[in-house]
Chain A
Amino acid sequence: MNDGPLIVQSDKTLLLEVGHPGADACRKAIAPFAELERAPEHVHTYRVTPLALWNARAAGHDAEQVVDALITHSRYPVPHALLVDVAETMSRFGRLRLEKHPVHDLVLSSTDRAVLEEVLRSKKIQPLLGERIGDDTVRVHPSERGTLKQALLKLGWPAEDLAGYVDGERHDIGLVEDGWALRAYQRDAADSFWHGGSGVVVLPCGAGKTIVGAAAMARASATTLILVTNTVSAHQWKQELLRRTTLTEDEIGEYTGTKKEIRPVTIATYQVMTTRRQGVYRHLELFDARDWGLVVYDEVHLLPAPIFRMTADLQARRRIGLTATLVREDGREGDVFSLIGPKRYDAPWKEMENQGWIAPADCVEVRVTLSDAERLSYAMAEAEERYRFCATTPSKLRITEALVKRHVDDQVLVIGQYIDQLDELAEHLSAPVIKGETRVRERERLFQAFRDKEIRVLVVSKVANFSIDLPEASVAIQVSGTFGSRQEEAQRLGRVLRPKADGGGARFYSVVSRDTVDQDFAAHRQRFLAEQGYAYQIVDADDVLDDA
């Protein structure tokens, strides 16, 4: 028996005992081909999926290495079936290649004729291909490059895209490192992206993904299209680029609901790109407006389906995806793989935290008990009203107040779902509130005031979920949320994870009504956070009130 830190499970999950002396070496060995799924305190769970194996293959690892890593580090014998499966899956990548052809432009070629015959027979593939050039080569229409890759992945024969990229219109972009420096991992991320051609960089919230984007733009030095989730996020990208690069105000355009600027660097929102009028995407021409040398996708895990379709046509351009997680709640990880590209860089949250790049966070769940009258009303509430009822119970007001009082010296963010509740809270705490109807200008003013510590407490609705930057929020209190979605949790946690000036820890409270559906949703949250390796604690509301 081997005394390794790794245990291989029959469902292709890998359990890594963190406290084992060999854990670090093992983590390095398995990270290329296994996705970290859960990272609680003692045993981390990695999962070996076909996509993960193909990612590893795309990064130049072969099956022998994977099998070797498993056997070397595994404590128990590894079931043979699993090893065979790994080798078989990995060997599927790269049998088909998309290549440039001197005469026929783009071709699909194969090292294994049987595979080529198999995919040629598929009804989904046939319309995407042109005439056969040789025994092992088929012509591909350049416009079908993305769709073909998607379809091949679905058949289980992912193609390696070696057809290269157009350079795009040259535009000098440089990083201005005054008073800050590119962190080592950010440089690594940009480099691995550049060498890989296209792909996804996975970094936790607060780890400076924008800067990785800027570094990638500097490497490309070409006109760039940046796609972001919303307008606030677009503004922030612009601010960051102005601060970190040689780009000037005139060179950066915003393409949003209000402005339609097309400049060498253009930032567009997903929303405007997916706006349809009479069934037609009206802003598609943006993709062809310039000869873009690079396309940046922010928050890839939120990329809407229509953007995927548009991206299928952009395969000749370099693409970089930035995200905190490859897990998509719609399960379209495969499309990210085939259309944006394989994973090029990945760093686990905990490791970044240990290095001090993101703030460590303490998560506390506060359970409030409903009064007898509330319990009765709750029992009688309609099913669809139940969550709202228990999530907005008045008991939460007092607790929130007590918590805010407890952190007198901290910047506190109160996050909620229901506007009535937020208004009420804002009134109680005499704090400003940001919600959907708040104008962008007002929003930014409040954010700035919060940053400048003019305001200590800010109440926000879910509009603040994505891509806002609140560097000094060290305490977040969540009073209600949308059904415990993992993504939302990651985002909200991201709000308080930005490195603090004083290097202090962050605290994330969620206030939950006991014995209700609210508690069930909280259980999802608890699981997610604990899986991410955060300390998680449950306290009773009475204890909090007593302390106060």
Chain B
Amino acid sequence: MEPMSGEFIEWLRERDDEQLCALASARPELVTPVPAHLAGLASRATSPSAVGRVLDRLDRFSLAVVETLAVQPAAMSVTDLVELLARAVPGPGEDAGALPGKGPGKGGRTAGKVKSARAMLAAPVSATVERLRMLALVYGPCEALSVAPGVREVLEGPAGLGPPVFDAFRHSPQDRLELLIADIGLDPAAPGPFADSAAARERLADLLDDIAVVERLVAEVSPQARAALGELAWGPASGRVPNARREVRTSTAKSPIEELLARGLLAATGDESVALPREVGLFLRGGRLHRDLSPEPPPLRGTSRDSGLSDRTAAGQAFTFVRAVEELCERWGFDPPGVLRTGGLAVRDLKRTAQLLDVPEQAAALVTEVAFAAGLIAASGGVDGEWLPTSGYDVWRVKCTEDRWAILAGAWLSTDRVPGIVGDRDERDRLLNALHPDLRRSAAPEVRAATLGVLASAERGLAPDLAAVLDRLAWEQPRRRGPYRDQLVEFTLREAELLGVTGLGALSAHGAALSSGSKARPQSRPNGAIGNRSAADLLGPLLPEPVDHVLLQADLTAVAPGPLTAELNRFLALAAEVESTGGATVYRFGEQSIRRALDAGQSADDLLSMLERHSATPVPQPLSYLVTDAARRHGRMRVGTASAYIRCDDSALLDQVMADRRSIPLRLRRLAPTVIASRTGSTALVDSLRAMGYAPVAESAEGDVMITHLEARRAEAAPPAKVTSSFAGLPAEAVTAAIRAIRAGDAAHLARRRPTAAPMGQVPRTPSTATISALQEAIKRGTRVWIGYLDSQGNATSRILEPARMEAGYLTAYDETRAAVHRFQLHRITGVTDISD
């Protein structure tokens, strides 16, 4: 890395606060943690990782601007930049990939075309430059723009160009270089012995930088060699050949590769690798860096849908998805699948789930994963773990459908888990199960957001093709393209459809609200609730309205023509079996289901009146017959639990036992004149009766009735931690505070002023309310204060601070005493004195 350029720091220092805030908002990683001064900010901004990150977010055009600047050895003006870029804009009907036979300017592009391209580019280029300045990737005035330090290093091979001559021939021995210069130089006698290899390389670079020289060299070689150059011209600018370091001269060159090597048109960069030097590459490209540059993103192609219809379809799917999650959790509450030893859900269990939900396995995996991401299911602890609904599920299920959907969709959008790869194999050929811990890809949330962003940018109702979306994303984030991300995009489109974010391939209104809500979240909506709220509001009216009646039929079914009101839903869930779900629900009454309702304490009359009240049609005779018939038989036999019994042929003796006050704790119940049942164990009963003065004998007794009943279970485990993805930004206040702190630090740094000496006298003591208001005042005015502070050992100290921000019991301030930004606990500040000059 080149040494930190003072110029860059100076430029950064001259930016105003607003511009620096914009920088910190756009690149939050630069101010977390807050650097001490602007030099620190500059060095962080130019570190390879930070530069790589911000370059990754550039669209193709902005990246091209950066690349164009990066290729230039020196600063250049905006006008020249436009000139260079204009060459890369394809004119109408022009073959962008054609290899120019001649030098730049004389190529296929007429001056007229370049002129019109120039006019077209002027505005977008200056806007882009402004944005790149804001991002601190480009600096300097419009007359002399430079890329920020560190950018060149990160941009390896900008625009697919090879290394410059100076670097490309780094590994060639000096004598080889001298021969090369002699071979291609105009005057073979001229190259004297060079001081060192670097000097020789500089000379070679000078030669190859001359268009006339390269033109002559290219003209000399055979057509096959020219074809090979054509292959390399638009990248990748390197290739593999055996024995690349062979000694060749123009006179001895036999093969096309040897011809090129002998003329320095190719450089050997290793034993078996060659590269096209940047100067040669630029010549071959006719002096332009890019082929088909456009300041506009590629248009989205696809099918146009009626937006109302796509919204409704998406809403239908959203409703279906919420139902599926609910069904899954309900079932798992009673019949939980086990957790595999490696974590995750067994293939068999996924199959069963798919069957339960009546969807393909891939969709079942999505339902499971989304339920997991939303914290509705979790693995219970213990040796034989089980997947159980969480208590969060109980909270979720009482919400209205649209809110439930918003929670699920939000969880999907932000999870780093990738349901799409369930069923694939990992690099060690192990099957990836649903809910498996390794099912994570850190890029997933970002790709999802980007994909939905593309859909949102399309016209309402347009369902773009996968290829069009990929093209657009490749334009928006060219540095992030790859088969792996393409796959994630494909997953996103498929899953968005299943979740009802899109309908018929087009982004729905509620889907758009969801995606913009998630984008707006970092700045204005700290918890995302507001963003999701509006998606739910949009979805609500499209969902079937709850109905309070059913249609009862003689085949003992009840059809609920829509989602039911809560009361009716509970009633039917108890008294009937669900037969099919969807927009409507079909329930079937049977003897078992009626009995279940009777068991739950309903009487036949309750059931019938409930049915009458909520039926749009008269209750069919077979149904009322079924209810009364089931009730007739219900409860004729009684079953209870007893731990022991007393039997005695003399009922008078049993009367006596029942009448005895001492028998009350034994919890006796007279079942028949000669039988008493007791809830007390037989041993204890015998003892107690003996104590009461009777002479009982224990009978060998069998027949304790164990009643087992199902109970829905819940996992104890906490729901999975929320993923905070790196692309989420900082709240605006935090940014402002950070910039203020940096400025303060920088001022201190610049002035190299001694920290203001602590005023003489006592460490200030002020009441806490006064402390806070004094600090607020100082933050507002940007003044310095002297505080008394108790350190973590409880020692009283004093500091000179420039307060920047106060929140959640902490003061963030630049500590002049220590020349760094620190956070101070407010309750430890014993007092404040304003010491501004």
Q: Which residues of A contact B (CB under 8 A)?
A: 1-2, 7-11, 13, 15, 17, 38, 40-43, 45, 71, 74-81, 83, 365, 515, 526-527, 530-531, 535-538
Contact B554 A7 (CB under 8 A): no
Does A10 lie within 8 Å of B320, measured CB to CB? yes
List the one stretch of B201-209, B556-564, B818-826 in contact with chain A. B556-564
Interface contact A9-B551, CB-CB below 8 Å: no
A79 to B583, CA, bound (A): 9
Q: Which A residues are CB-close (under 8 A) to B622?
A: 365, 526, 530, 536-538
Closest residue of A by beta carbon distance from B358: A11
Query: Is the Cβ of B582 less than 8 Å from the Cβ of A9?
Result: yes
CB of B621, distance to nearest CB on chain A (Å): 5
User: Closest CB of chain A to B167's CB: distance in Å?
Assistant: 50
What is the chain B residue whose CB lies nearest that of A42? B551
Contact A11/B309 with A42-B553, A77-B317, A80-B503 known, Cβ cut-off 8 Å? no
B586 at the interface (CB under 8 A from A): yes
The smallest beta-carbon distance between B248 and chain A, in angstroms, is: 50
Instruction: For B164, list chain A residues within 8 Å (CB).
Output: none
Check: B285 CB closer than 8 A to any chain A CB.
no
* With A76-B319, A77-B315, A78-B313 as contacts: A8 and B582 at CB distance below 8 Å: yes
Which residues of B lie under 8 Å from residue A76 when comparing CB positions?
A: 316, 319, 544, 562, 583-584
How far, in whole Å, are A515 and B402 apart by their CA atoms in the complex?
Answer: 47
Q: Are A79 and B555 in contact (CB under 8 A)?
A: no
A477 to B437: give the CA distance in the assembly, Å.
65
B581: chain A residues within 8 A (beta carbon): 9-11
Please tell me which one of the listed residues A2, A45, A80 contacts residue B314 in the complex, with CB atoms under 8 A apart: A80
The 8 listed contacts between A and B (C-beta, < 8 Å) are A9-B586, A10-B581, A15-B559, A40-B553, A77-B313, A77-B542, A77-B583, A80-B497
For the complex, is B652 an interface residue (Cβ under 8 Å from A)?
A: no
CB distance A75 to B561 under 8 Å?
yes
B633 within 8 A of A: yes
Q: Using A8-B582, A76-B544, A77-B319 as known contacts, say yes or no to A43 and B633 having CB atoms under 8 A apart.
A: no
B554 touches A43 (CB 8 A): no
CB-nearest residue of chain A to B315: A77
Centre residue among B316, B544, B555 by max chain A CB count within 10 A = B555
Q: What residues on B are CB-neighbors of A17 within 8 Å?
A: 551, 561
B316 touches A77 (CB 8 A): yes
Does B617 sit at the interface, judged by CB under 8 A?
A: yes
Shortest Cβ distance from residue B440 to the other chain A in the assembled complex, whole angstroms? 26
In angstroms, Cα B620 to Cα A535, docked, is 9
* Nearest A-chain residue to B500, judged by Cβ: A80
Q: Is B58 an interface residue (CB 8 A)?
A: no
Whether A530 contacts B314 by the Cβ 8 Å rule is no
Known pairs A9-B582, A10-B320, A11-B582; A81 contacts B561 (CB<8 A): no
Given A76-B316, A79-B317: A536 and B554 interface contact (C-beta under 8 Å): yes
Report how far A530 CA is from B583 CA in the complex, Å: 23
Contact (A530, B556) CB under 8 Å given A17-B551, A77-B542, A81-B317: yes
B side interface size, CB within 8 A: 44
In whole angstroms, what is the CA distance A77 to B621 when docked?
Answer: 34
CA A45 to CA B584, docked complex, whole Å: 12
Q: Which residue of A lies closest to B360 (CB)?
A: A81
- Evaluate contact between B553 and A43: CB separation under 8 angstroms: yes
> Separation in Å of the A87 CB from the closest CB of chain B?
11
Q: Is the CB of B498 within 8 A of A81?
A: yes
Query: Given contacts A71-B309, A81-B359, is CB(A527)–CB(B555) below 8 Å?
Result: yes
Q: B580 near A: Cβ within 8 Å?
A: yes
In the complex the two chains form, what is the Cα distance from A38 to B541 in whole Å?
32
Interface residues of B (CB under 8 A from A): 309, 312-317, 319-320, 323, 358-359, 363, 497-498, 500, 503-504, 541-542, 544-545, 551-557, 559, 561-562, 580-584, 586, 617, 620-622, 625, 633
Task: Contact check, A9 vs B553: say whether CB atoms are below 8 A apart.
Answer: no
Distance of A56 Cα from B820 Cα, bound (Å):
78
Contact call B621/A83, Cβ cutoff below 8 A: no
A171 to chain B, nearest CB (A): 47
In whole angstroms, how far apart are the Cα atoms of A527 and B320 in the complex?
29
Q: Is the CB of A527 within 8 A of B551?
A: no
In the complex, chain A residues whose CB is within 8 Å of the CB of B312:
1-2, 77
The one of A43, A75, A81, A538 that contacts B621, using a Cβ cutoff of 8 Å: A538
Least CB distance, A2 to chain B, in whole angstroms = 8
In angstroms, Cα B586 to Cα A45, docked, is: 10
Contacts of B504 in A (CB 8 A): 80, 83
The reply to whether A9 and B317 form a contact with Cβ atoms under 8 Å apart is no
Contact A515 B633 (CB under 8 A): yes
Given that A77-B542, A80-B313, A537-B621 are contacting pairs, would A15 and B555 also be in contact in the complex, using a CB cutoff of 8 Å?
A: no
**How many Å lie between the Cα of A383 and that of B617 in the bound state?**
41
For B580, list chain A residues within 8 Å (CB).
Answer: 9-11, 13
Q: In the complex the two chains form, what is the Cα distance from A531 to B554 in whole Å?
A: 8
Kindly list chain A residues whose C-beta atoms are within 8 Å of the C-beta of B498.
81
Q: Distance in Å from the Cβ of A361 to the closest Cβ of chain B? A: 13
B555 touches which of A10, A40, A75, A537 (Cβ 8 Å):
A40
How far is it, in angstroms, between the C-alpha of A515 and the C-alpha of B359 when the chains are bound? 39
Chain A residues with CB below 8 A from B621, complex form: 536-538
Kindly identify which residue among B309, B553, B582 contacts A41, using a CB–CB cutoff of 8 Å: B553
Chain A residues, Cβ within 8 Å of B363:
81
Contact A1 B544 (CB under 8 A): yes
Using Cβ atoms and an 8 Å threshold, which residues of chain A touch B544?
1, 75-76
Tell me whether A40 and B583 are in contact in the complex, defined as CB-CB below 8 angstroms, given that A11-B358, A81-B317, A530-B622 are known contacts: no
Given contacts A41-B553, A42-B552, A76-B583, 5 further A-B contacts (CB under 8 A): A1-B312, A1-B542, A13-B586, A42-B553, A76-B316
Known: A80-B504, A527-B555. A7 touches B582 (CB 8 A): yes
CB of A43 within 8 A of CB of B551, answer yes
B545, B584, B625, B633: the one within 8 Å of A15 (CB): B584
Question: What chain A residues lie within 8 Å of B552 (beta carbons)?
Answer: 42
Q: Is the CB of A9 within 8 A of B556?
A: no
**Alpha-carbon gap, A276 to B48, bound state (A):** 86
Residues of A within 8 Å of B555, CB to CB, are: 38, 40, 526-527, 530-531
Pick the residue among A43, A515, A527 that contacts B556 (CB under 8 A): A527
4 closest residue pairs by CB, A with B: A77-B316, A9-B582, A530-B555, A76-B583
Task: Provide the residues of chain B in CB contact with A38, threshold 8 Å.
Answer: 555
Docked Cα-Cα span, A418 to B87, in Å, equals 98
Tell whether, in the assembled complex, residue A42 and residue B617 are in contact, meaning their CB atoms are under 8 Å apart.
yes
Q: Is the CB of B545 within 8 A of A1?
A: yes
Neighbour of A538 across the interface among B500, B551, B625, CB < 8 A: B625
Q: Which residues of chain B are near A80, meaning CB under 8 Å?
A: 313-314, 316-317, 497, 500, 503-504
- Assess whether A530 is in contact with B553, with CB atoms less than 8 Å apart: yes
**Residues in A neighbouring B323, C-beta threshold 8 A:** 10
Q: Which residues of B contact A41 (CB under 8 A)?
A: 553-554, 617, 620
Interchain nearest-CB distance for B561 vs A (Å): 6
CB proximity of A145 to chain B, nearest CB, Å: 34
Q: Most chain-A Cβ atoms within 10 A of its Cβ — which of B309, B313, B503, B542?
A: B313
| B320: nearest chain-A partner, CB-CB | A79
Smallest CB gap from B563: residue in A: A76
A85's nearest neighbour on chain B, judged by CB, is: B360
A13 / chain B contacts, CB cutoff of 8 Å: 580, 582, 586
In the assembled complex, which residues on chain A have CB atoms less than 8 Å from the CB atom of B313?
A: 77-80, 83
- Alpha-carbon gap, A2 to B543, bound state (A): 11
Measured between beta carbons, the chain B residues less than 8 angstroms from A9 are: 580-584, 586
Give the chain A neighbours of B554 by CB distance below 8 A. Answer: 40-41, 530, 535-536
Roughly how many angstroms separate A38 CA and B363 CA in the complex, as a whole number? 29
C-alpha spacing A9/B581, complex, angstroms: 6
Interface centre among A79, A527, A535 (most CB of B within 10 A): A79
**CB distance A78 to B316 under 8 Å?**
yes
B754 to chain A, nearest CB (A): 71
A515 nearest CB neighbor, chain B only: B633
Question: In this complex, what residue of A is CB-closest to B497?
Answer: A80
Residue in B500, B554, B620 with the greatest tally of chain A CB atoms within 10 Å:
B554
Distance (whole angstroms) from the CB of B765 to the closest CB of chain A: 68
Task: Kindly list chain A residues whose C-beta atoms are within 8 Å of the C-beta of B320.
Answer: 10, 79, 81
